[in-house]
Structures are given as C-alpha cells and as structure tokens.
Structure 1
Amino acid sequence: MTAVDDRPQTRDHAQMATEEFENLASDAAHRSEGLRLEFLGGKAVVKAVPDGLHTAMTMWLVRQCMQQRPQWDLHVGQGLAVEAYRKGRAIPDGTLAPVGHFVRSGEWADPDGVLMVVEVTSFDRDTTQRDRVEKPRAYAESGIPVYLLVDRDTREVTVHSRPEEGAYALRLTVPFGKTVPLPEPVGFELDTQQLLGWVTEEG
C-alpha cells in the first residue's frame, strides 16, 4: 500500500512570494491596528483578533512559565519564520525561549532555540485548519520541540512533541482541569484547573 500525503499542497502554488507577504503584512499592521497576517502553506491568512478569554488564557500561560522557569520568557506576538525552508510566517500566541533570545531578531525570527510554541483557539471558521492542521505541520517542520494547543472548542489541551520528518511523532490530549506534563526541553507539569473554571463560567 502506498502512503498518502494528506498535507496541504498549496506551497507548490503559493499565492505570493514570502517577501511580498512580508510587505503586505507590514502594511496591514500599520493601516489597521490589531490586524495580523500569517503565511502558511503558501497562503496569506488573517489571525483572529483575541477576545477577553483568549487573552486571559494566554497571560495565564505567561505567568505559569515565569513561575516554573524564570530563566525563560513566553513571548506574545513574536513572529516566526516557519515551515521546512522558512518560507512560512506565523505569529504564535506564545513563544517560549530563553530571556533575551529575541533581542536582535526582526519581525520574523528564526525558530532555532525556541523551546515551545502555544496557540489558543479562537471561535472562527479557520481554527480547525489553522491551529489543528497547518500550525502543527509548520512548527514540526521548523524543528520546534513542543507545540501546546489550548482548544477552547473541545475544552482540551494537546501537547505535540518529538518533531520528526515534518510532523510531531507524539501527541497527548487531556481535558481542561487535568495536569499535563510538558516534555523536555520544557520539562514541567501544567495544571489546567484554571482553564476549566473559566470555560465553565463562560458556559
């Protein structure tokens, strides 16, 4: 039986060159405050503007990382050059790296040295394709050791790890309220009880 590659094939037929996208994204950011564009699989996509709960979850993760590993920062809004040949452009909700790691980086930093990326889903129609399909592929191809997905739709946290040949070999999913181990190089346990409290209040 022949293996079937079900990953998006749009990179062979990109809408535009990466440099063109960077100019477009920069112009969009200056013209419309809060509008952020990403470039995944050869296509430009709009990253959803975070709502209050999305922001609260992201900042909660920032605090958890600072308490557990004060030598690291969970950067919010740092762009990364991703995918196999660094042709993609992504803006993770959080990027875990040593303190000062991005001091000399531009708008789209190289992912080398990044320990973990975090995405918190938004309630928009592109979430499934973007956060559950395109982002894991892009981050794994970039060699980022851990991808943490906080999924508000399913009320679950999924930890992707061990990037191999453009995909994460391991995936662990737990419901909100449980403790989930974040593998090395992150190396600490994340208690998600607070997330369960928030979504329960939200209904």
Structure 2
Amino acid sequence: MTPSTENRPQMSVEDFEELERHASETVRLEFINGRVQAKPVTDGNHDQIIAWLQRLCMQHRPELWLYGDRGMKVERYRRGRARPDGVLAPFGFPAGHGDWSEAAGVLMAVEVTSHDSDTHQRDRVEKPDAHAAAGIPVYLLIDRDDRSVVVFNQPEDGRYRHEEKLPFGAPVKLPEPVSITLDTEPLKEFAD
C-alpha cells in the first residue's frame, strides 16, 4: 500500500532550511505539516502590536525578552520550522543557536494575524498544534480580524488542552509560566 501524497512532506527539513537560507529578505518562509508556506511581510500596525507586547513583557518580567521572528523547531520530533512573530524566553535564549532554536526554555509563542487568505489555516489551526507539539507552554494569538486575543495553554499530545478567547479591551491573564496580565485596550487602536 502506498502512503497518500497528502501525508508526505514536500521536501526534507534540510532542503527547506537550504531554500529558506537563500530566500529573498522580502519573504519569510515556514515549514509546517510538511509544506512550505510564505508568511506575509508585516505592516506597521502589526509591528506596533509586537512592540506593545514587548514593552509589557519587559515591565512585568525583566528577566525575559520577546524575540521577534526567531526561527523555531516545532511539531513532533522538531520536523517543522516556524518564525513566530514573537517568542518569550529568558534573555540570551538564542545565543549560539544558529538559525533555528529548540523550544526548550520558551515560555510563549506569539502570532498576530495578517490580512491575507492563509491566516486562518496558518495562525488559528496549524500554529497552535505545531507549538503545542514542541511543548511551548503558552501560545498567544492576537487576532486583528475579529478583534480578539486567544490564549492557548496546557500542551498535551500535540494540542493545547485549554483555549480562552477574549475581546480587545478585556484584561487577559497569561497563565504560568508567563504569569502576566495584559490590558488589551490599546489593541483596539491597532486592529486594522
């Protein structure tokens, strides 16, 4: 019996890393579920949301840093490659890692939705599963389309067991090991 082609990766992880290394700076590539995906370049509001979150993390947890666009080994057996919009980890985390870091030590991965046709599948479906499978304790999705913040936590067997969705403006409690409460009122200004 021949395995279905939809379960076979488009290429090896090593071939993807070579492709990504030579890609234009105007495109960010990821390798999730065995497929190469182009992640759109961010806009100004997207960047401002990450800056807002970075400032809050520094104020509440100065021993940590929100690293932007850090290459991460995700999925089971670290066979996927993702570039979350933010990775919260101890300051100095990526030193010596090269292009792709293991998930050990990462407290939270962050994505801010982009206004493109793939954002639903990529940010709301595939990324939570990829980060859960890598054992990242918290996945924070800032969803500009429906003006909400979604907190995923309790990774187990490749999925997050708990998910909480709150509207922009509501206080959002990021669970342990992050342990920060976000005042999301400023997100209303940057939703578009």
Number of residue pairs aligned between Structure 1 and Structure 2: 188
Matched AA of 1:14: P
Match status 1:13 vs 2:11: no
Tell me the amino acid that sits aligned with residue 129 of structure 1.
Answer: Q
Q: For 1:63-74, what aligned pairs fall within 5 Å after superposition?
A: 63-74=55-66
Q: Using CA pairs below 8 Å that are at least 6 residues apart, which structure has the higher relative contact order?
A: 2
Of 122, 126, 144 in structure 1, the residue corresponding to residue 136 of structure 2 is: 144
Amino acid at match of 1:121: T
Q: What secondary structure, in the 3-state scheme, does the structure 2 residue paired with 1:195 have?
A: helix
Which stretches of structure 1, 4 residues or more, deviate above 4 A after TM superposition? none
Distance 2:96 2:177 in 1: 23
Q: Tell me how far 1:193 sits from its aligned partner.
A: 0.6
Please point out which of 157, 160, 169 is paired with 1:165: 157
In structure 2, the partner of 1:3 is none
Per-residue CA distance 1:8-62 (angstroms, 9 max, x = gap): x94x31000000000000000xxx2231100000000001100111111111111
Q: Which amino acid aligns with 1:65?
A: C
Give the aligned partner of residue 48 of structure 1.
Answer: 40
Shift of 1:101: 1.2
Q: Percent identity?
A: 52
Task: Please say if 1:27 is aligned against 2:22.
Answer: yes
- The alignment partner of 1:23 has SS state of helix
**Structure 2: which 5+ runs fail to align?**
none
- Provide the C-alpha distance between the structure 1 equivalents of 2:8 and 2:185, rounded to a whole number of angstroms: 43
- Give the aligned CA root-mean-square deviation in angstroms: 1.1
1:116 is aligned, of 93, 108, 112, to: 108
- The gaps in structure 1 that reach 5 residues or longer are 1-8
Relative to the length of structure 1, the TM-score reads 0.90
What TM-score results when the alignment is normalised by the length of structure 2? 0.95
User: For residues 158-200 of structure 1, what are the alpha-carbon distances to aligned partners after superposition, in whole Å with 9 as ceiling and x for unaligned?
Assistant: 000000111000001100011110000001101101001333x
